[in-house]
Amino acid sequence: MTNQYEENHERSLKDPEGFWGKAAEDCFWYKKWDKVLDDSNKPFYRWFTGGVTNTCYNALDFHVERGRGERIAMIYDSPVTNTIRKYTYKELRDTTARFAGVLKDQGVVKGDRVIIYMPMIPEAAIAMLACARIGAIHSVVFGGFAAKELATRINDAKPKVMVSASCGIEGKKVIPYKPLLDKAIEFSDAKPEKCIIFQRPMETASMIAGRDIDWKTAEAKAQPADCVPLAATDPLYILYTSGTTGQPKGVVRDNGGHMVALKWSMKAIYDTDENDVWWAASDVGWVVGHSYIVYAPLLKGCTTILFEGKPVGTPDAGVFWRVISEHKVKCMFTAPTAYRAIKREDPKGALIKNYDISPFKILFLAGERSDPDTIQWSENNLKVPVIDHWWQTETGWAIAANCMGLHHFPVKYGSPTKAVPGWDVQVLDTDCNPMKPGEIGALVVKLPLPPGTLQTLWQRDDRYVESYLSEFPGYYKTADAGFIDEEGYVYVMARTDDIINVAGHRLSTGAMEEVLADHPDVAECAVLGVEDKLKGQVPVGFLVLNVGVTRPNEEIIAEVVQAVRDRIGPVAAFKKALVVKRLPKTRSGKILRGTIQKIADNKEWNMPATIDDPATLSEMKEALMTIGYAKNPS
């Protein structure tokens, strides 16, 4: 007997036009589409050609006009400023319309680019929605990004206007943004005409006469702007992939397909309905923030939480439970790193007992591999399903997931479950031949990609094809390696370049990380392949221990080495591991594996623009030197 997931998935692949056409009927259109899927210019597939809509209208005005204006649309919860502010759908619509008027007053029209360089405050979401309202293409750059990295994005997007704030807050530290913004514009060849600055009370930015505009002053004078009808295929935003150097990759998302896919996903994947309280604990500078802090929950009519804080230290490892309890959160989505940080500080989950989290029903994890130990710790302590799912900046929403609104499959640890409806996920070898169930290869998606995914790279169609479509003709290259088992469960083992070759054996560092993470004293870990003259590459493990562990490091290392030998075998050649205080990560919580590997192999490397704390790389180099790597002192 088939279930709702299987029916949806089968129809989405056999009849994508019928499947997505039905989903699109749940949205407002000024003019209905002529064609659901336009394949006249392969591989540049387009969705809902001929359709006319507006994403901001669907996210805000649509709900107000249905009589739901007094429902809470967004809750701003900021433990770093001790602030909680709630916006109804009507208030958020009116505030957005007025800021759209501010943009119009500065000459911003349909098709102009606006770069938003903001901390996690409501004004960041308002600026995004205001751009969508008038057809401007927004490009959000993570607040606090280095000036040179911001400059490369300015040069690529060529914005008419920049929108920023006087500062952000990292823990207890105030980070002035305006000096970074000024320096980035100085570095740039493309100079924005105006900069709109939101002054926060903890830092007043100095303003440049003739160029800089005070947000509140301009807002007081502006007239609200109406929504502009846009083609479904018009760009909504550009989002630059994190960690790029040199020429960045600007992922382009459209209006129509993006709106349809994201609204559909809220119920189908996340089992979240209108009126439910939803929390994606991420940042608007990343794809999760675009898709699941701002657009998807508002399109669905949910209450979305915008959180300015950290999982630990603001003020403690119980802040997530406080937010869930206080705002009656039904579903939460965050990165496994956040829960590993909580687990390290509070290994027994004692702080959970201080809060009533009974409204909480499901935890979703994504952004990196969800190790079984973190999932099991969360299951045991929260007593709710913990759902790993897999997607990317480029895809905009989940490729594989346990679709909780369709059918709850049994969890298999290490797997994000099955391909989501719309996604034809396959495993190929380097010659584009299909792999058998259980065999590791390149995870790819057969074209066309479903709606909501990247349309191209900003003004670089050639690079889009070269980066994603050329290696496996007819498929989108995810650059992830893994396998699909006999039951259709997808296993994402590592980035393609994290499959290491040990004496001719292709091994997944992700599988080794699972073993290390199972050790009761290990809070988080990473395994990397480093160069070896005899075997080509050998794996090296890095362990961060739970707070309060007093056993000798040597004992723990010996135990994890033996565990890898027992569970994967001597073929893994896993003999070396290090205990470190912390792992170098991006601000979004991803471990900087590539940079660590270059340091170990004495190769040239650059300080990543997205790094959370540069000191962690110095600590890592010193640790590697103790076991014979990173010998080059330069």
**What's the CA gap between 138 and 125, in Å, rounded?**
11
Q: How much is the pLDDT for 565? A: 81
Residue 584 tokens, joined: 């170098």
Percent of the chain surpassing pLDDT 70: 95
Residue 626 half-sphere exposure toward CB, CA atoms < 13 A: 12
Mean of the per-residue pLDDT values of the chain: 92
pLDDT at 93 over 60: yes
- Residues 296-316 have pLDDT tens digits of 999 999 999 999 999 999 999
pLDDT tens digits along 206-219: 999 999 999 999 99
pLDDT digits (tens, 9 = 90+) for 146-173: 788 899 999 999 999 999 999 999 888 8
- In the chain, helix, strand, coil percent, each to 5? 35, 25, 40
Say if CB 556 and CB 519 are below 8 A apart: yes
Q: Determine contact, residues 365/391, Cβ cutoff 8 Å.
A: no
pLDDT reported for residue 244: 36
Encoding tokens for residue 441? 């290869």
User: Tokens 């979703």 appear where?
Assistant: 364
Helix (H, G, I), strand (E, B) or coil at 179: helix
Is there a contact between 592 and 584 (Cβ–Cβ < 8 Å)?
yes
Inform me whether the pLDDT recorded for 623 exceeds 50. yes
Residue with tokens 């590459």: 537
Per residue in 329-370, pLDDT (tens digit) is 999 999 888 998 899 899 999 999 999 999 999 999 998 778
The helix-helix angle for 336-345 and 372-382 (nearest 10°) equals 70
Give mean pLDDT, residues 610-617: 82
Report yes or no: 36 and 20 within 8 Å, Cβ to Cβ.
yes
Asked if the model's pLDDT at residue 569 lies above 90, the reply is no
pLDDT in tens, 406-432: 999 999 998 999 999 999 999 999 899
Does pLDDT of 491 surpass 90? yes
Residue-wise pLDDT tens digits, 369-409? 788 888 999 999 999 999 999 999 999 999 999 999 999 99
Least confident of 81-90, 209-218, 381-390, 569-578: 569-578
Q: Which residue has the tokens 């109804």?
A: 88
Angle (nearest 5°) at CA 214 between 211 and 217: 130
Stretch 226-231: mean pLDDT, rounded?
98
b/e burial code for range 449-481 (CB count within 10 A of at least 16 → b): bbbbbbbbbbebeeebeebbbebbeebbbbbbb
Q: Which residue reads 């657009």 in tokens?
A: 295
Fill in the amino acid letter for 512.
M
Overall residue count recorded for the chain in this entry = 634
Cβ-Cβ contacts under 8 Å for 456 (sequence gap 6 or more) = 44, 252, 464
The full set of domains in the chain, from first to last, is 417-499 (2.30.38.10), 503-625 (3.30.300.30)
Query: Does residue 28 register a pLDDT over 70?
Result: yes
Residue 34 has pLDDT above 90, yes or no: yes
Is the CB of residue 586 less than 8 Å from the CB of residue 614?
no
Can you list the pairs that 10-15 forms with residues at least 24 positions away whose Cβ atoms lie under 8 Å? Answer: 11/421, 12/421, 12/422, 12/450, 13/422, 13/424
| Residue 237, helix vs strand vs coil | strand
